[in-house]
Amino acid sequence: MSIFRLAIPSPLRRLFDYLPPEGTDLSNIKPGIRVTAPFGRRDVIGILVEVTDQSEFAHNKLKRAKSILDTEPPLPQHLFKLARWAASYYQHPEGDALQQAIPTLLRKGAPCEHQHEILWRAAPDASIAQLKSNASRQIELLNLLLEHPQGISTDAIRAEGGHTSALSTLEEKELAESFHREHKQNNQQILHEAPLALNAEQQSCLHEINSRKGFACILLEGVTGSGKTEVYLQAIEKALKEGKQALVLVPEIGLTPQTVSRFKQRFSVPIVALHSNLTDRQRLDAWLQAREGIARIIIGTRSAIFTPLQTPGIIIIDEEHDPSFKQQDGFRYSARDLAVLRARHENTPIILGSATPSLESLHNAVEGKYHWLKLTQRAGNSSPPEFKLLDIRQENLNDGLSEQLISAIRSHLEGGTQVLLFLNRRGFSPTLTCHDCGWIADCNRCDAHMTLHQSPPHLHCHHCDKQSGIPQRCPECNSDQLQPVGVGTERSEQALQKLFPDFPVIRVDRDSTQRKHSMQEIMQQVNTGNPCILVGTQMLAKGHHFPKVTLVAIINADSGLFSADFRGMERTAQLILQVAGRAGRADHPGKVMMQTYHSDHPTLQTLVNHGYSAFAQEELHNRKIAQLPPFTHYALLRAETSIKGRAESFLGALRQQLEDDMLLPHGVHWIGPFPSPMEKRAGMHRAQLMIYAQDRRSLHQLLANLCWYLEQNKEARKVRWSIDVDPADTF
Ligand code: ADP
Ligand code: ZN
Ligand code: ZN
């Protein structure tokens, strides 16, 4: 008697047993295929994990699965295993994890095949002369077809203003024909342009990478502008020449189209970019092209880690320190960490690249688990930026800007170059207050202030998205003396426009770039090279090249120095250096000015005077003393409810229960429960329990027990709880 054990998308951490669909030929059934089955009152798509002959339930209690959707599993065995492993490591329900590893259309039951797109082209001997001169629509259309000998889709014809209604007429006259798009292996040429001649450092890195056989994890630590990307490109070139594919993960694609265009400029092989603007159909097609080996380079963000490759050759993780590689909700996996495992399974090299590597990766490099390669010089002939801390204690700030900074901005603009101002707050100002009674505009759903925005004018909570109008009078004392407090990007933009009316001020933040293509337009303006001021948030720090920027100003360098999160310092240092890296990239030497109230802070001093490596070494030392990651392994159990105090007492009781039952493995420790750093958020009261251990195995043993308790526990149904293994932040 055979039983199908299915992973079904549900919050339950278990598999479900079914009888195979009526008349199933079991000889050809492979784990990983999709199966539809009744679940509760509906039919769902599950993934077959195994065929077994045992069930804890009586046979006559088992329901029958309905149908089998695949002959071949969509994910190859090793990725199927990787996703299952990740579900167990990150304590996430397997059904949901497996679904997240495949494209949306497959989750919805679409066949695992390309959509055969129909294209049109002119018939071999077709010419305009064969049409009557007054058949203008047909002439127009035939001209369009003649311009596209490779074929053009009806959508594209419409987009070009052609009349698809005339297609059938042309076809009847044997002047046009339709055909299916074929995804042909383009195995002629690999390179589109010649690679750059590497400098000595790059050369030796590439040599190290290329001399590895099979799996090797390489940490490529290279200052911004040192030519890491060029090393990636040439390492990929080798893989392509061997007939293999490359998988490149980047933190963000939408905002940095340059990354993709650089790959397309270099290589003539088919490249797919898995970005968020793709339709589900386009995503599945790209995914299939990767699986079938048609696409040779696959560039994507976090979720692309599960993209199957037919001939895996190399994996690159660019900006490996970026927190976006860790999913922050639901299935909380780290794409970077899974990528290392994947490379091991596929027996290929993997490069983790960054100017500011995560302390985890550095620790692995120090321990010798990763090969540590360094690029210390900027490529080409640009020089590294010079740092300066501006002590702003007792300074009168002009909308957040010190006199020193303003005059520096002036001299750079007048010298004909560009200035970049970094501020990690969007909106006009972080809040609105009453000058007479001290009232502050707070969000009533969060422990947070409402941010004041001026374009368009409103108050906005950046934590729960609540929006409201701006009051004319104080709700407490009715005074009309309401004042903005603090500086956001909109306010900086306004102040700079007043200070420098002759120069364009360009704001770059989530609000100013919402429109499609707005980022491209901004980049076009910046690329003209004319003097201007860019003012913006993190968005400016990611991946863009601003060759004409000679001054980078960091308005508030202190923002993360005293964070409640132990990674606060690391993130601050990374952000500062990423922003600083925008300066002086080409032949213009750059300057970085950082306003601070703590110019004597030892960490800032180390960073500014001795660079990231020195900072990281110190920080690793501190982590070791405090027994924090990467020297211990962490997990966070978060809970939230609408009733104040309940999440905390729930976690406290759970901790007590596990201790009473002596289920705390040796070497595992708790901290808490404590209210979360932002206790109330979007109307929910939140608390967390931190769990840490020297060795992973005991930590995971406890987490497994914890999950079991939570799933049995009646109280647990009244709270929303989640487990975060290796959390990227502790909020
Ligand atoms: P990173 O990725 O480390 O920030 P990039 O690869 O973007 O650095 O390189 C920075 C700049 O230096 C780019 O404009 C790139 O074209 C140039 N560059 C890189 N390698 C070389 C080289 N060997 N010779 C000349 N220019 C180079
Ligand atoms: Zn008031
Ligand atoms: Zn809120």
Q: Report pLDDT digits (tens) over 387-416.
A: 999 999 988 899 999 999 999 999 999 999
pLDDT band at 182 (very low <50, low <70, confident <90, very high): low
* Cα-to-centroid distance, 460 and ligand 3 (Å): 8
CB neighbours of residue 358 within 10 Å: 25
79, 83, 89, 95 alpha-carbon torsion, rounded to 10°: -160
pLDDT reading at 560 higher than 90: no
* Cα-to-centroid distance, 371 and ligand 1 (Å): 22
Question: What is the structure's pLDDT at 183?
Answer: 61
Tell me what percent of the residues of the chain surpass a pLDDT of 70.
Answer: 98
Residue ranges around ligand 1 (CB below 6 Å): 196-199, 202, 222, 224-230, 379-380
* Cα-to-centroid distance, 430 and ligand 2 (Å): 18
Question: What is the structure's pLDDT at 665?
Answer: 87
- The backbone torsions φ and ψ at residue 69, rounded to the nearest 5 degrees and listed phi first, read -95, -20
- Residue of 105, 114, 117, 106 whose CA lies nearest to 285: 114
pLDDT reading at 713 higher than 90: no
* Cα-to-centroid distance, 321 and ligand 1 (Å): 20
Q: In sequence order, what are the beta bridge partners of 118?
A: 180
pLDDT band at 586 (very low <50, low <70, confident <90, very high): low
pLDDT reading at 308 higher than 60: yes
* Cα-to-centroid distance, 628 and ligand 1 (Å): 36
pLDDT band at 541 (very low <50, low <70, confident <90, very high): confident
Written as six digits, the tokens of 388 are: 């300066």
Question: What is the structure's pLDDT at 585?
Answer: 61
The preferred substitution site among 193, 230, 352, 356 for testing ligand 1, maximizing ligand atoms within 8 Å of CB, is 230
Decide: 13 and 65 in contact? Cβ < 8 Å.
no
- The backbone torsions φ and ψ at residue 33, rounded to the nearest 5 degrees and listed phi first, read -75, 160
Q: Which ligand is nearest to the CA of 483?
A: 2
Pairwise CA distance, residues 75 & 9, whole Å: 17
Helices (DSSP H) in 2-135: which residue ranges? 77-89, 94-100, 104-107
Q: Write the residue with the smallest CA distance to atom 6 of ligand 1.
A: 227
Question: What is the structure's pLDDT at 254?
Answer: 66
Q: What's the pTM value of the predicted model, to 2 decimals?
A: 0.90
Name the percent of the chain in helix, strand, coil, to the closest 5.
35, 25, 40
Sheet holding 312-318, edge to edge: 271-274, 297-300, 245-249, 312-318, 349-354, 216-222, 371-375
Written as six digits, the tokens of 587 are: 């032949």
Least confident of 16-25, 458-467, 577-586: 577-586
Q: What is the DSSP string of 457-497?
A: EEEE-TTT--EEPPPSS-TTT--S-EEEES--HHHHHHHHH
pLDDT reading at 292 higher than 90: yes
CA distances to 175, 433, 438, 445, 447 from 441, in Å? 69, 6, 10, 12, 11
Average pLDDT over residues 498-521: 89
Q: Which ligand is nearest to the CA of 440?
A: 2
Residue 673 preceded by cis peptide, ω within 30 = yes
- Residue of 269, 115, 124, 125 whose CA lies nearest to 180: 115
Ion ligand 2 neighbours (CB, 5 A) are 434, 436-437, 439, 474, 476-477, 479
Average pLDDT over residues 159-165: 83
pLDDT band at 187 (very low <50, low <70, confident <90, very high): low
Each residue of 226-258: pLDDT tens digit? Answer: 999 999 999 999 999 999 999 999 998 766 677
pLDDT reading at 565 higher than 80: yes
Mean pLDDT across the chain: 91
